[in-house]
Amino acid sequence: MPDFTAKDVQEVRAATGAGMMDSKRALEETGGDKEAAKQLLREKGLAASAKRADRENTQGAVAIFVDGNTAAMVQLKCETDFVAKSDHFKNLAHDLAALVAMKGEDAVAAKASAIDDLKVTLKENIEVGRVVRFEAPEGHVVDSYLHVQSERGVNGVLVELQGGTQELAHDVAVHIAFARPKYLTRDEVPAEVVAEERRTLEAITRNEGKPEAAIPKIVEGRLNGFYKDVVLTEQPFAKDDKVTIAQLLGGARIVRFAQIEIGA
């Protein structure tokens, strides 16, 4: 007679996510010791998950946690949207965001075991992606926006304003989610990025047969269009394209923003 019961098998199976026969064999190997069986299965599962580490994990979930003027945003990566929208996965992403908000970006390390367990249970390459934390001083405003698709967050934004309202910060966050700016101001665009864009626009303009003397002016105009695409303050506001974000802000100032988008 084995040193364990069917109930023991079920308990080990539920705790590890392993199959019934694997759970039974683990109990046999450990003489019916349930905790030892769980650890054995976990070790085997982690060995298998190490083999999965090179598999592409472009799916996942974005979670946001805001507490007053402290906000955190965490990307938890996986391989499929089926896993990404599972409750275990979404709950872990939320727990990570809350932990980062309370204790800092490095606090994700405290959830390493939980991530390992999820790798074993869900059998996918799961890891923490980008982690962002804002802690704004008194008088500043922090807000967020999270676009939900297929039952989990896929596009998250944090914004910090100085001299603005919560409503304004939220409007800017929603705008960022859909306009996807890369930089806050024109000054932040790296010189090499501008130079490369200028070379491209010059080539396009010249290939169109424009007069050589007119090319510099045409290129400058097109470069302004490039800035409108990538610079937040120069973008037309998503809700009213007759107004730029700079005009929308009035006397307020965007201190910083962050965006995390699944698959981007």
Percent of the chain with pLDDT over 70: 92
Q: Is the pLDDT of residue 24 over 90?
A: no
- Residue 93 to residue 70: CA distance in whole angstroms: 17
Residues 133 and 112 in one domain: yes
Residue 38: partners with Cβ closer than 8 Å, 6 or more residues away: 12, 15, 16, 26
| pLDDT, tens only, 122-148 | 888 899 999 999 999 999 999 999 999
- Residue 145 to residue 159: CA distance in whole angstroms: 9
Among 14-23, 77-86, 153-162, 176-185, where is mean pLDDT lowest? 14-23
> What H or E segment, with its residue span, contains residue 133?
strand 127-135
Nearest 5 degrees, angle CA 173-CA 141-CA 248?
50
Tell me what the mean pLDDT of segment 17-45 comes to. 79
Residues 224 and 249 in one domain: no
- Residue 203 to residue 215: CA distance in whole angstroms: 10
Residues 122 and 36 in one domain: no
Residues 235 and 173 in one domain: yes
| Residue 73 φ/ψ region, left for φ over 0, alpha for ψ in the -120 to 50 degree band, beta for the rest | beta
Q: What's the whole-model pTM score? A: 0.78
Contact (Cβ atoms closer than 8 angstroms) between residue 118 and residue 218: no
Tell me what the mean pLDDT of segment 12-22 comes to. 74
| pLDDT, tens only, 166-206 | 999 999 999 999 999 999 999 999 999 999 999 999 999 99
Task: Decide if 40 is inside a domain.
Answer: yes
Contact (Cβ atoms closer than 8 angstroms) between residue 159 and residue 100: no
pLDDT at 11: 87
Task: Decide if 34 is inside a domain.
Answer: yes
Residue 238: count other Cβ atoms within 10 Å of its Cβ. 15
Q: Is the pLDDT of residue 164 over 90?
A: yes
Tell me what the mean pLDDT of segment 30-56 comes to. 69
Residues 13 and 121 in one domain: no
Tell me what the mean pLDDT of segment 231-242 comes to. 96
- Mean pLDDT rounded to a whole number for the chain: 90
Task: Decide if 1 is inside a domain.
Answer: no
Q: How many domains does the chain have?
A: 3
CATH code for position 20: 1.10.8.10
Confidence band (pLDDT; 50, 70, 90) for 17?
low
Q: Is the pLDDT of residue 63 over 90?
A: yes
Instruction: Select the more confidently predicted residue: 122 or 252.
Output: 252
Tell me what the mean pLDDT of segment 31-54 comes to. 68
Q: Is the pLDDT of residue 47 over 50?
A: no
Tell me what the mean pLDDT of segment 39-53 comes to. 60
Residues 254 and 143 in one domain: yes
Write down which residue in 14, 32, 51 finishes a domain.
Answer: 51
Residues 226 and 173 in one domain: no
Residues 63 and 147 in one domain: yes
Task: Decide if 226 is inside a domain.
Answer: yes
Q: What is the largest CA-CA distance in the chain?
A: 94
Nearest to 88 by CA among 9, 14, 12: 14
Residues 88 and 164 in one domain: yes
Task: Decide if 16 is inside a domain.
Answer: yes
pLDDT at 20: 75
CA distances from 102 to 61, 71, 151 (A): 20, 9, 25
Task: Decide if 18 is inside a domain.
Answer: yes
CATH code for position 172: 3.30.479.20
Nearest 5 degrees, angle CA 119-CA 120-CA 122?
65
Residues 167 and 39 in one domain: no
Instruction: Select the more confidently predicted residue: 31 or 101.
Output: 101
Among 39-53, 65-79, 80-94, where is mean pLDDT lowest? 39-53
CATH code for position 212: 1.10.286
Task: Decide if 119 is inside a domain.
Answer: yes
Task: Decide if 219 is inside a domain.
Answer: yes
Confidence band (pLDDT; 50, 70, 90) for 215?
very high
Residues 114 and 165 in one domain: yes
* Domain span at 206: 190-230
Cross-strand pairs, 140: 162
Q: Give me the phi and psi of 228, to 5 degrees please.
A: -65, -30
Cross-strand pairs, 131: 74
CA distances from 157 to 62, 131, 225, 240 (A): 10, 12, 24, 20
Residues 82 and 206 in one domain: no
